Amino acid sequence: MEQLGVEPAEEAGRYEEEDAAQAMERVEAGEADCSPGAPGPEEPGGLTWLVPEGSSSSRVIVHVDLDCFYAQVEMISNPELKGKPLGVQQKYLVVTCNYEARKLGVKKLMNVRDAKEKCPQLVLVNGEDLTRYREMSYKVTELLEEFSPVVERLGFDENFVDLTEMVEKRLQQLQSDELSALTGSGHVYNNQYINLHDIVHIRLLVGSQIAAEMREAMYNQLGLTGCAGVASNKLLAKLVSGIFKPNQQTVLLPESSQVLIQSLSHVKEMPGIGYKTAKRLEALGISSVLDLQTFSPKILEKELGISVAQRIQKLSFGEDNSPVTPSGPPQSFSEEDSFKKCSSEVEAKNKIEELLASLLNRVCQDGRKPHTIRLIIRRYSSENHCSRESRQCPIPSHVIQKLGTENERQSYGGFFQRQRNKLGFSTIWKN
């Protein structure tokens, strides 16, 4: 057995911090003449563009990606770590590290032993308790909601923000004498020419102003830096946000979207195409974005189904109509851990109880009452590392009612113990 998880909901969810240096290796994009406009290594500044009269309908979506998030949280907690090569350790892996460590050869998900060989002066902190990261993550989302109510969380360190209405309001509030010029912030992808008579361009550039303000607020109020991508949809905003890192932002004008999309070396790098779908595409001889763009729609629909085929083929052209969906309170809580296989049923039960205790703390802090509990395991297998099994059952009303009282731990934990065999946990534990 390698992995256990417990959660009081139908669907499990696990947040993972993404690599902070992924996109720079994909593309060589020229720098625009305006600065990112947020504190840190960049200085404020910008270009001036004439805003023509009139308006048109065009979405303005921002993807905000925090720089080496776990490491930043640790440096905020302990300022003495700033300027030192820092790695956040979970088990035997460096799950993330700051830029000082990256410059010395440390990479995400590197074995601790290898990381110390690369960088003997590397400072390691234990990051197995996600509580502080989770709390800071929600603070970021709450801050972004002050700029727009339409904010969608994507893991601990990413958020989508729909600024369409905010941009429209700013344009309407500008006086005629203020329409002569606006200051935009950040890079313009591919050094593309800015059409001063194209309101779509203007809206995106106003969006870049607001993105810079959001990043500045994150730094001033929370001490965090991050990157941002400004584009007309979620797909493009996410892709362009990683072009200039760290602590910078980039706006993507529509005419350059194909340049960005085709810079991806493989379709699996495209948000919205998961591991299994990428494997099925490879079996069809599709590896590049161009392959997907030119592949027969009928054959693709036959192999993947109409809905999936049409969706991913549109993505390959940079088309993404999916809305930014306000996340609201999480619909499920989960606690997971990975470790070497358990040698006995007792050891497995102990692991479950550790996860359950952590999960119960979060449930009680949230205040809502869960109705379903689910146990997930992964059998030990040298061949299939993705095989997972699960069992779930409803939580009786009398147990739910006791949650929030001083006896909530005993009532919830006792229920879990009594339901083990009913749910088939013992059967799962035995190989």
The residues carrying an active-site annotation are 158
Q: Using alpha carbons only, what angle is made at residue 157 by residues 151 and 158, rounded to the nearest 5 degrees?
A: 40
Consecutive H or E run containing 400: helix 397-402
Length of the chain: 431
> Residue 264, by phi and psi: left (phi above 0), alpha (psi -120 to 50) or beta?
beta
Q: Taking the chain, what is the end-to-end CA distance rounded to the nearest angstrom?
A: 9
CA neighbor of 157 nearest in space, from 127, 187, 113 = 127
Task: Quote the CA–CA distance of 255 and 265 in Å, as a whole number.
Answer: 20
Which SS3 state, helix, strand or coil, does residue 271 take? coil
DSSP H helical ranges for 223-344: 234-241, 257-262, 275-283, 289-294, 297-304, 306-316
| Residue 374 CB contacts under 8 Å (≥ 6 apart), including other chains | 6, 7, 8, 9, 10, 12, 390, 391, 392
Under a CB-based contact definition with an 8 Å cutoff, are residues 370 and 6 in contact? no
Contact 92, 126 (CB under 8 A): no
Residue type, 139: K
Place of tokens 């139908």: 10
